[in-house]
Amino acid sequence: MVRRWGDRRDGKLIRDIDAMHYCMPLIYPNRCDNEACMTLHVNLEKTEEYLRQRAKENAGDSISMFQVVVAAALKTIWLRPQMNRFIVNKSIYQRNEITAAFVVKKSFTDEGEETLARVQAEAGDTLETLSRKIQEQIEHCKTATDESTDAMNVIKKLPFKRLIGAGAIFLDRHGWMPKSVIATDPYQCSVVLSNLGSIGMNAGYHHLMNWGTNSIFLVIGKKHKRMHYDEDGNALMRKELTISATIDERISDGFYFAKTLKLMKKLMENPELLELLIEQEV
């Protein structure tokens, strides 16, 4: 990839942006002031049956619901490239990589440490390869500290914390932060996911950060049953997964967001589509 004047190490400056999206970062410069919040209700009937059947056919080599969500999010971003944009210094960039980040708790105790995991999607990836990457990251995080945590432990010991903070913000805004510091920083990734369902909580709103380049935050709630009505008005209970999405509304428009979330819902409700190559249209 040829790097031109104005490009960053992590993204390419979008030079042919329409007038409205060119002006929005000038008028509304902060990411946290431009959050669009949406909710997905995913029908789990076919998904859970698919996961059960797959585990049976693969001698217990199972894929978790969380891995399906991450894989669906990455494939969605791959097929909907405007979702992989970010805004820094009032300019819009197309991110060079497609990455997902999430926090791993080493033990489910009050004292259990948290560490950061990062998964990068590559051409040729499928649900199986992405699931393997996710599992490897989780296993690594539970036995080792990540590079970002090591760097922050060093920073914690340094004096003049206000100057350090100002310097870090300056480097971050210009894409000059050392790779060792942002190696697994979730806010330098395409999408950040928080799996509240793993601790028995419902999905809720989570804000974006002005730090970094992240434009999408997904909160996954616990599985639950919700009342629905068929065409004849008969009530029935359906098992669902609720996902809350917070998106920087400046990177695209509402129509694009709506089609994107519909695609992600389709992928999660029909996980066999995730067996296709990540770059393959559905």
Question: What structural domains and CATH numbers belong to the chain?
Answer: 11-146+184-275 (3.30.559.10)
Strand intervals (E) in the chain: 11-13, 35-43, 85-88, 91-95, 98-105, 114-121, 191-195, 216-229, 235-248
Residue 123: which H helix or E strand, with range?
A: none
CA pair distance 144, 96, nearest whole angstrom: 28
- Spell out the alpha helix ranges (H) of 80-176: 127-143, 147-156, 161-173
Q: CB of 117 within 8 A of CB of 101?
A: yes
Least confident of 31-45, 135-149, 244-258: 135-149
Which whole number is the average pLDDT over 82-99? 95
Per-residue pLDDT of 92-134, as tens digits, reads 999 999 999 998 877 777 776 778 889 999 999 999 999 999 9
Q: How much is the average pLDDT of 201-214?
A: 93
| Cα four-point dihedral sign 72, 75, 79, 83 | positive
Q: For residue 30, give both structure tokens.
A: 């902060």
Task: For residue 260, give the amino acid letter.
Answer: T
Alpha-carbon distance of 172 to 168, in angstroms, equals 6
Which residues contact residue 208 at a Cβ distance below 8 angstroms, ignoring those fewer than 6 apart? 31, 32, 35, 214, 215, 217, 246, 248
What is the spatial distance between Cα 16 and Cα 6, in angstroms, rounded to a whole number?
Answer: 13
- Name the pLDDT band for 174 (thresholds 50, 70, 90): confident
